[in-house]
Amino acid sequence: MDNKEKQVLVSLISTVLIFGFYSLYVYNHYIAGNPAILNDFKFWGKAFLFLIPVTIVAEIIIHIVFAIINKIVTNEDMDTRSDERDKLIELKTIRISHWIFIMGFLLSMISQVIGMPPYAMFLTMIASGFISSTTSEIAKIHYYRKGV
Amino acid sequence: MSKCYINNNIRKLRFQADELTQQELADKTGVTRQTIVAIENGKYSPTLELAFRIARVFNTPLDEVFSFSENPK
């Protein structure tokens, strides 16, 4: 497995971990004690907004830790440069990611049309964001391994 | 895997050029070693610009480095 594949794998694992722990935290601290909060739009607004800085900080920390471990184990520096092949793969995977998210967004709208509670819309949007992100990383690994 | 109809002689040319390493070729053309590996293995077709840069490193015409075939190897 080359450096790029390792970096993508770390991104995939960190996305799953961050999303998992954040969801658990929000559930245990807010939803478990007060399920009615699910219908509070302010709660969902906060949950979405806090997820952004949490993800950025956690991703940076995880990548730094990985770079240190990689240096110790392999004695090689991580090549973080991005060339034309990396950019092509990035573009292809962003397209896949956007399509999945758009489908999720449409599903979330459909949930409202058929009369489901508002939290169904937010849950669908969060789930589609997570699935689009992980699918994008998996697609990157596929393109790096099989060619583009 | 995408169909790659572009064949190349990069490995042979590297050998003839005092056994130029993939990393050295990558440094001279401004890409990562993984990209050179992918091109050599037919997993990536370089842009025209990169193809010309590779040919320039070996000081050979482009068609001696890359060739096009109707059927993939």
The domain of A96 spans 3-146
Please state the rounded mean pLDDT for residues A52-67: 92
pLDDT tens for each residue of B32-44: 999 999 999 999 9
CA distances from A1 to A6, A54, A109, A142, B45 (A): 7, 29, 41, 12, 21
What interface predicted TM-score (ipTM) does this complex get?
0.85
A83 with B33: Cβ contact below 8 A: no
CB contact under 8 A, A4 and B42: no
Contact B35, B44 (CB under 8 A): yes
pLDDT at residue B31 tops 70: yes
> Which residue on chain A is closest to B43 by alpha carbon?
A147
Residue B34 maps to a domain = yes
The number of distinct structural domains making up chain B is 1
Share of chain A above pLDDT 90, in %: 82
Domain of residue B40 covers 6-68
- Looking at the whole model, is its pTM more than 0.95? no
Whether residues B32 and A79 touch (CB distance < 8 A) is answered with yes
Whether B38 is in a domain gets the answer yes
Residues of chain B contacting residue A146, judged by C-beta atoms under 8 Å apart? 1, 43
> Which band of pLDDT confidence, cut at 50, 70 and 90, is reported for residue B4?
low
Question: Which of A78, A84, A141 should we substitute to test contact with B (largest number of B Cβ atoms within 10 Å)?
Answer: A84
pLDDT, tens only, A43-59: 999 999 999 999 999 99
A-B C-beta contacts closer than 8 Å: 40
